[in-house]
Chains A and B, each alone.
Chain A
Amino acid sequence: DAKTTQPNSMESNEEEPVHLPCNHSTISGTDYIHWYRQLPSQGPEYVIHGLTSNVNNRMASLAIAEDRKSSTLILHRATLRDAAVYYCILRDYGGSQGNLIFGKGTKLSVKP
């Protein structure tokens, strides 16, 4: 799977939007961009995924650059419960592997 680069940590204030960036300059045409998060002392949790178009769900939005070399996870109004490590993961639809390959992610802190 292609590599992703994320900032080690970010801070946000409660009820403000948060933009979590991810760079994936070697992304291939069949790589989907997935985001998972891990709340403290919990297992990873699926957030959102996309291929080319921007995606929205009840948890977040995913903005994908036109050249697909970067993407941004958007939390529209951060809450204290959103404090977690956020992982940007590329998954190759053309590949045979089903496992997720986690990097170090971005640790998001949310201040009240």
Chain B
Amino acid sequence: EPEVTQTPSHQVTQMGQEVILRCVPISNHLYFYWYRQILGQKVEFLVSFYNNEISEKSEIFDDQFSVERPDGSNFTLKIRSTKLEDSAMYFCASSEALWGSGGGTDTQYFGPGTRLTVL
């Protein structure tokens, strides 16, 4: 069964450093998402991406964050200058169609996550 993959599984970085988290969405999916989950807290939406541009973003997704689809398979989240409070699990998700399309094609499939630790 196709699945979303994410690398690395765990990233440790120093405060102020740039990190890039990588995701390979399911191959025929067109909509991509990043969520994060701080330890012990809720899963929070960061950003959605379609047709090489951001569709929606939350308040968390400030100028320190950016997303890119550098090629036909990867989807990346970059944090320019990490802060201690960026430490969290970051989940990538993808869906074949946008929410509201029906027929189950708008189901979001999540990857296993990248644990980001900022020291």
Contact = CB atoms under 8 A, between A and B. Distances in A.
B56 A38 contact: no
B24 to A, nearest CB: 14
A43 B48 contact: no
A100 B108 CA distance: 9
Contacts of B45: 99-101
Contact of A98 (B98, B109, B112, B113): B98
B112 A42 contact: yes
Interface residues of B, number: 26
A56 to B, nearest CB: 14
A44 interface: yes
A41 B91 CA distance: 11
Contacts of B48: 98-99
A69 interface: no
Given A97-B56, A100-B45, A104-B42, A43 B98 contact: no
Given A38-B43, A42-B113, A98 B91 contact: no
A42 B4 CA distance: 12
A49 B107 CA distance: 10
A49 B102 CA distance: 11
Interface string A53-85: 000000000000000000000000000000000
Chain A, interface size category, equals 20 to 34
B117 to A, nearest CB: 15
Nearest to B98: A98
Contact of B99 (A43, A46, A91): A91
Contact of A44 (B43, B95, B98): B43
B56 A44 contact: no
Which 6 A-B pairs give the minimum distances between C-beta atoms?
A43-B110, A99-B45, A102-B43, A98-B99, A43-B91, A46-B107
Interface string B31-73: 1010100000011110010000001101000000000000000
Interface in B2-41: 4, 31, 33, 35
A103 B55 CA distance: 22
Contacts of B91: 43-44
A103 B109 contact: no
Contact of B42 (A41, A43, A49, A102): A102
